[in-house]
Amino acid sequence: MSSRPMRLQTRSAGTPATIADLAATSEKLASSSTGRRPATMAKTATKAAMKRMLRLCMIGLSVAGTTRRETAEHWQCGVRGCRRDITATVPLSRSPWRWRGNSSRRSVSSSPAGVPSSLGDSGCRRARQPSGKGQRPQCRGFSGVAGCGLAAVACAPYTLALFPAEAVMDEKGVALPAATVAAPLPVAGTPVALARAWLWLGVMALIGSGLLAVLLVLSRTPGIQDVFPLKDLFRAALVVHVDLSVAVWFMAFAVVIWSALGRPGLAWLGWSGFVLAALGTALMTVSPFFSGAHPVLNNYIPVLEQPLFFASLWIFGAGSLLAVLRALLTSWPRPFAADPLRLGSFLGALAALLSLAAFFVSWLLVPWVEGQIYYEVIFWGGGHTLQFQHSLLMVVAWLWIAAALGRPAPASPRAQSLMFIVAALPLLAVVAIYLLVPVGSLPHVELFAKLMIWGHPYMLPLLLVGALALWRLHGAAADPAKSAFVSSFVLFALGGALGYAIHGVNVVIPAHYHGSTVGVTLAFMGLAYVLLPALGFARAEGAMAIWQPYVYGAGQLIHVLGLAWSGGYGVQRKVAGADQFLTTLPQKIGMGMMGLGGLIAVIGGLMFVLVCLKAMSAGRRQ
């Protein structure tokens, strides 16, 4: 190959070459500089090609100084290490753009995609569009020679004209950071099949929970309540309603996330877990209608003192354990810090394993005593650990939704991975408490209460990233996942704030965990809308899908605010009817808000089930 620089050919005399001409010339150079040299000369050939690229770039700068025109191009910041894609309408000045800075630092280095990403000093961390006519693109912030990055960005449109890179833009032409987390797609085969199956299980659990909610209403309606002969039906149905809508739904959708993000393999483990979990869910749903269903309204996982219910709980727990083990073996991120969604999913599975182990150890070591206190103690440690699982997976859902909507969180994958690790650090305290403190003792109970208070602030960096991702969705087109993200963030933030307002035993406590758990539920609903087409179902579309998260979230918001208001006036928890002693007008107003919000939330939950069934049935027919 000749070492003489190739001269730029123009279309006609006196007419400057266009960017298309530069691109065509670069293709000729590329075709002539590759394919004919042996592998041992590859490095030399690359250097020679880079020198010619730089010459062509400088020719482009001189051409830009001979004419006045505008070009709307997708281009990338040319400073080494920046990798930011930008769209700008660049007015090209008649005066040539001059190089500044140390000329020894002007070099071209190729990115992993083979795109030149450096024409000057490093240091640019963000580029912006020209603010007015006649101005050239600028770089914010420099860490090297002053002005060198500016010249690099000025030259960047011509560099990327020679070596086009597909820019990541939103619908308004606003550039998105190139080093962001992309929305993952489930791998065909076992991951998709398992995710579909567990999603069906979660939706069926919500349907069963909704039917039991109808029974709860009917059992308290004058005239109709005489139809039901079992006096304990109300409380028994309430227990299973809570377990289906919280324990089963949360675990089922957690396995949906683990399956969608996991790798193929260990299908027997995944399907064994699903069969056991489905069997346990079915037995749990029908258990209130069998005799001997004595309800115990303890925290986290209320129970029925009945052999059938305990059998359903053990079977569902065994299925969940198999699913968690498969998640730990298949969702390990590779590379570790470059895939924050898989890392967050893996840490959520680790929290689930610790919670299941905590339940088993507590059941094994705590001596049985009659009454509610026994179930409070055996579910206390594992229940607090489950909160970390739900919180981690909720943030995974947020970031996944933001990436799927084209507005990824403004943080690098490594930064997000570090935040997930920080958020999971309090899980180490769970192991320490069980090893160092007698299970069931007063210090054991108090330490887990302190873990809730001091452990969840480790989530704040992730919550900040979630807030920034939510802010980036401002102005985006209406979408069911966006509606769910907005509602989820509001409810979870409110629930977390109410957790620090708890004083005494009143209905502020259920206001706190209703807000938090509903925030998780809404995040899972939004991610379900994102995953429906990826799992082979139809897309959730229409006004009902867009408004469903707002209806459900608004109802729960009124419900939570009513509980918090009533708790401020001393209304006690876990009482109903005349036992509430609603003697003042503020107490009655608060509990009235609670009832109204609950009714609206039931309507919103029914809307979600209908939207999912419509999309899943349509996809199945297709």
How much is the pLDDT for 524?
A: 94
Q: What is the Cα gyration radius of the chain?
A: 30
Percent of the residues in the chain that have a pLDDT greater than 70, as a whole number: 62
| Spatial contact of 117 and 109, defined as CB atoms under 8 Å apart | yes
| Spatial contact of 245 and 206, defined as CB atoms under 8 Å apart | yes
Sign (positive or negative) of CA dihedral 53, 58, 60, 63: negative
Banded pLDDT at 311 (limits 50, 70, 90): very high
The CA distance from 230 to 218, in Å, is 13
- Written as six digits, the tokens of 257 are 């996330």
Please determine, for residue 386, whether its predicted confidence score (pLDDT) is greater than 70. Answer: yes
One-letter amino acid for residue 241 of the chain: H
Nearest residue to 609 via CA among 249, 271, 320: 249
How much is the pLDDT for 582?
A: 56
Banded pLDDT at 590 (limits 50, 70, 90): confident
Residue 374: HSE in the Cβ half-sphere, 13 Å Cα cutoff: 12
Please determine, for residue 224, whether its predicted confidence score (pLDDT) is greater than 90. Answer: no
β-strand partners of 90: 71
Please determine, for residue 196, whether its predicted confidence score (pLDDT) is greater than 80. Answer: yes
Total Cβ atoms within 10 A of residue 19: 17
How much is the pLDDT for 135?
A: 44
How much is the pLDDT for 431?
A: 93
Give the pLDDT mean for 471-489.
88
3-state per-residue secondary structure call for 226-275: HHCCCCCHHHHHHHHHHHHHHHHHHHHHHHHHHHHHCCCCCHHHHHHHHH
Hunting for tokens 């500044």 — which residue is that? 100
How much is the pLDDT for 339?
A: 85
- Written as six digits, the tokens of 327 are 């998640």
Total Cβ atoms within 10 A of residue 587: 20
How much is the pLDDT for 279?
A: 95
The CA distance from 68 to 90, in Å, is 10
Helices (H), ranges, 367-507? 372-378, 380-404, 413-424, 427-436, 442-455, 460-472, 480-499
How much is the pLDDT for 231?
A: 53
The CA distance from 567 to 199, in Å, is 36
Banded pLDDT at 569 (limits 50, 70, 90): low
How much is the pLDDT for 238?
A: 82
The string of DSSP letters for 120-182 reads S-S---EEE--SSTTPPPEEE--SSSTTHHHHHHHHHHHHHHHS-----B-TT--B--SSSPP
Banded pLDDT at 550 (limits 50, 70, 90): very high
Total Cβ atoms within 10 A of residue 425: 12
Overall pTM > 0.75: no
Percent of the residues in the chain that have a pLDDT greater than 90, as a whole number: 28
How much is the pLDDT for 283?
A: 93
Determine the number of helices (DSSP H) and then strands (DSSP E) in the chain. Answer: 19, 6
| Spatial contact of 561 and 533, defined as CB atoms under 8 Å apart | no
DSSP state of 410: S
The CA distance from 119 to 148, in Å, is 9
The CA distance from 354 to 386, in Å, is 8
Nearest residue to 193 via CA among 204, 205, 201: 201
Give the pLDDT mean for 501-510.
71
How much is the pLDDT for 220?
A: 52
The CA distance from 495 to 490, in Å, is 9
How much is the pLDDT for 312?
A: 94
Q: C-alpha distances in angstroms, 389 versus 300, 353, 358, 421, 591?
A: 14, 9, 13, 13, 31
| Spatial contact of 618 and 538, defined as CB atoms under 8 Å apart | yes
Those residues whose C-beta lies under 8 Å from the C-beta of residue 438, and which sit 6 or more positions away, are 444
Residue 440, classed as helix, strand or coil, is coil
The CA distance from 16 to 429, in Å, is 69
The CA distance from 583 to 566, in Å, is 11
How much is the pLDDT for 472?
A: 87
Banded pLDDT at 158 (limits 50, 70, 90): very low
Maximum Cα interatomic distance, the chain, rounded to a whole number of Å: 99
Give the pLDDT mean for 436-455.
88
| Spatial contact of 175 and 169, defined as CB atoms under 8 Å apart | yes
Give the pLDDT mean for 266-285.
92
Residue 198, classed as helix, strand or coil, is helix
**What dihedral do alpha carbons 39, 41, 42, 46 form, nearest 10°?**
-170
Which has the minimum average pLDDT: 171-175, 482-486, 524-528, 609-613? 171-175
Nearest residue to 465 via CA among 428, 416, 536: 416
Query: How many residues in total does the chain contain?
Result: 622
Considering only residues 314 and 98, tell me which one the structure prediction assigns the higher pLDDT.
314
**What dihedral do alpha carbons 474, 70, 86, 9 form, nearest 10°?**
160
Please determine, for residue 192, whether its predicted confidence score (pLDDT) is greater than 50. Answer: yes
Query: Could you read off the pLDDT of 75-127 as tens digits, one per residue?
Result: 334 443 444 443 333 333 333 333 333 333 333 333 333 333 333 333 333 33
Which has the minimum average pLDDT: 72-76, 136-140, 221-225? 72-76
How much is the pLDDT for 497?
A: 83
Please determine, for residue 246, whether its predicted confidence score (pLDDT) is greater than 60. Answer: yes
| Spatial contact of 379 and 373, defined as CB atoms under 8 Å apart | no
